[in-house]
Amino acid sequence: MDSQKPLAALHLKGVAITPPVLLAPLAGITDLPFRRLVAGFGAGLVVSEMVASQEVVQARPLARARAELGFDQASTAVQLAGREAHWMAEAARFVAGQGARVIDINMGCPARKVTNGYSGSALMRDLDHALRLIEAVVGAVEVPVTLKTRLGWDEALLNAPELAQRAESAGVAMITIHGRTRCQFYKGAADWAAIAGVTSAVGVPVIANGDIVDAASAQAALAASGAAGVMVGRGAQGRPWLLAQISAEVYGTPQPLVPQGAALADLVIGHYQDMLGFYGRDLGVKVARKHLGWYLEAAGVAGQRGMMTADDPAQVIRALRSAFAEQQQVAA
């Protein structure tokens, strides 16, 4: 692109984030196998699924699985959620002790099961309590602490700039803003220009999030928000190379080699097998289905309903090889 931005690392207490293109935490999606794949193509930071603070401390298996770090991946953050300062601090100590390089605090999740428990974006309705949680986490660990939130609870409570200022004063090193309110959920378009109010309110790096699906939308988000980088979420589903593509076009880093045909089949099968190894065969087969659907959709492969319901990994792998071979023949 003619408007390429200079590549500058974001430095968070000694942790460099280069390029400033980050993978968003997505519940049920950004598990260790997916984060490892995205990081392999090139990402400044990959963030875990949201982890319930009390559950990870009490060693509940699902929470521990979500917090799995991959010690060989330096660019890993673990996102914590909760409503009690004690558990947030204890969870921060635990994941930092396990090797997390960065700890992110979730104050943006709009899901009712989260906000009804006074966690996630519900904390935007009580900034004093939100600040107590932030202070507890910052005070518990030496690693950088970041914050992810939204523009506000609703159009009548757009208090992200105030929350960001208070978080910065408490020691938060970076703030990511999803350009919607909680009550919008994922409806409508992300308001990148509204993020500029946060960018101008704080001195720490601000990351723009929401509807960033390619280099053009990343450029537009950066221009409208004045942010120091972008965070990509749903756009990476079925396209783990997307962050590297955005970085190449926006910041001039090397273009990733996007697999096609047999090479794409190898990548998808490798991801599938990684999920089976991570979750175990029975659960892994089920968890993998959504990822397989996204890969097939992104590649324009149709008519694979049987693959999506099969329980035999060998059958799924044969179907994947056949589907991507046929897709390449059609494309040729």
Residue numbers belonging to the annotated binding site for FMN: 79, 148, 178, 233-234
- 144, 156 in Cβ contact below 8 A? no
Would the CA dihedral through 23, 26, 28, 31 be positive or negative?
positive
Instruction: Work out the burial of residue 113: count CB atoms within 10 Å of its CB; fewer than 13 is exposed, 13-18 middle, 19 or more buried.
Output: exposed
- Alpha helices by DSSP H, the chain: 32-41, 53-57, 61-66, 85-97, 112-115, 127-140, 160-170, 192-199, 215-225, 242-251, 261-279, 281-298, 305-309, 313-331
Our CA dihedral for 275, 87, 234, 188, rounded to 10 degrees, sits at: 160
Catalytic residue among 47, 109, 190, 320: 109
Which backbone phi and psi does 190 adopt, to 5 degrees? Answer: -65, 135
- Strands 174-178 and 206-209: what pairing? parallel
Q: What is the DSSP letter of 294?
A: H
Per the annotation, the verdict on 109 as an active-site residue is yes
Binding residues, by number, are 79, 148, 178, 233-234
Q: What is the DSSP letter of 213?
A: -
Q: Which residues are designated catalytic? A: 109
